[in-house]
Amino acid sequence: MTVRWSDLAWPDLKERLRAETVVFVPCGAIEQHGPHLPLEVDAFIARALSEAVATEVGGLVVPTLSYGYRSMPKSGGGPGFPGTLNLQGATLADLLRDVLLELARHGVRRVCVIDAHYENQWMLTEGIEQAIRLPAAAEMRVMRLEYWDFVTDELLAQIFPDGFPGIALEHAAVLETSLMMHLDPARVRVDRIPDNPPAEFPPYDIFPAAPDWVPSTGALTSAKAATAEKGELLFAHYVTAIAAAVRREFPAAGPSG
């Protein structure tokens, strides 16, 4: 049975919506992810995780907010590569606010926003805050999470036996490449997987963005250690951990963990 809101006809959606139903809002970006991964990696991973967790807890998933807040050199490679499509911060905040208000109009009271684009998080927070301060969404409770925060030190030690470079430098590197190798291997150009050393950034930003700060591949560190097996391990862990968090915050959601 599908968990996709947009796959359902309205009578079926009406039947599926209950007071305790958790509705998931995947949020990503259209952003360069090195020479080996598609531009929609963030949106794709957010959608895949949302659908898997929704299946675990009996939830529904609305269409992905695929455009994200502007890519920054020190975490996403910045605007110097073809294909990245940025939103202004206010646009993203307004978009999420409006989606939440529409969900509230349908009687939804429990929402989980799953973010897969590093730069989005504060803009999404602003959209949530704007929505829940309005009378229409006064009864709504919203979780917002970045999936990588659920990884444990023990799992990182398995994935990175030589040391974890840090989540910001993991753009288009081992974590995302491994997840894509597991979820959609046909779209990973294994012949192009980059092996550049970690980028080194100064302790400040500069505007306009300095393109020479970013490795020419667009990956902020090597992705050579990525494997589908690591991706399978990561994905299973994320789904289990996020589902447990959703059940903790929304106790009637799905089977007990």
Q: Is 154 a catalytic residue?
A: no
Q: How far is CA 18 from CA 3, 50, 52, 62, 107, in A?
A: 14, 18, 19, 15, 8
User: For the residues of 43-88, what is the DSSP string, one character each?
Assistant: HHHHHHHHHHHHHHHT-EEPPPB--EEPP-HHHH--SSSTT-BEEP
Active-site residue among 51, 146, 170, 171?
171
Residue 221 CA to residue 250 CA, distance in Å, equals 38
Give residues with Cβ within 8 angstroms of 162, minimum separation 6: none
- Which one of the listed residues 33, 36, 51, 146 is annotated catalytic? 33
Catalytic-residue membership of 182: no
Please give the span between the terminal C-alpha atoms of the chain, in angstroms, as a whole number: 21
Choosing from 36, 115, 176, 182, the catalytic residue is: 176
42 is catalytic: yes
| Catalytic (active site) residue 205 | no
Query: Which of the residues 51, 119, 146, 170 is marked catalytic?
Result: 119
The active-site residue, picked from 31, 56, 115, 146, is 31
Please tell me which residue in 51, 117, 146, 170 is annotated as part of the active site.
117
Nearest partner of 223 among 201, 184, 190, 186, judged by Cα: 190
Annotated active-site residue in 40, 42, 51, 56: 42
> Is 106 an active-site residue?
no
Nearest in space to 84 (alpha carbons), one of 144, 149, 38: 38
The residues, any chain, with a CB within 8 Å of residue 73's CB and separated by 6 or more, are: 80, 201, 205, 209, 210, 211, 213, 214
117 classed as catalytic? yes
Say whether 119 is catalytic. Answer: yes
Please answer whether residues 250 and 142 qualify as being in contact, where contact means their C-beta atoms are separated by less than 8 angstroms.
Answer: no
d(CA 178, CA 34): 14
Residues serving a catalytic function are 31, 33, 42, 117, 119, 171, 176
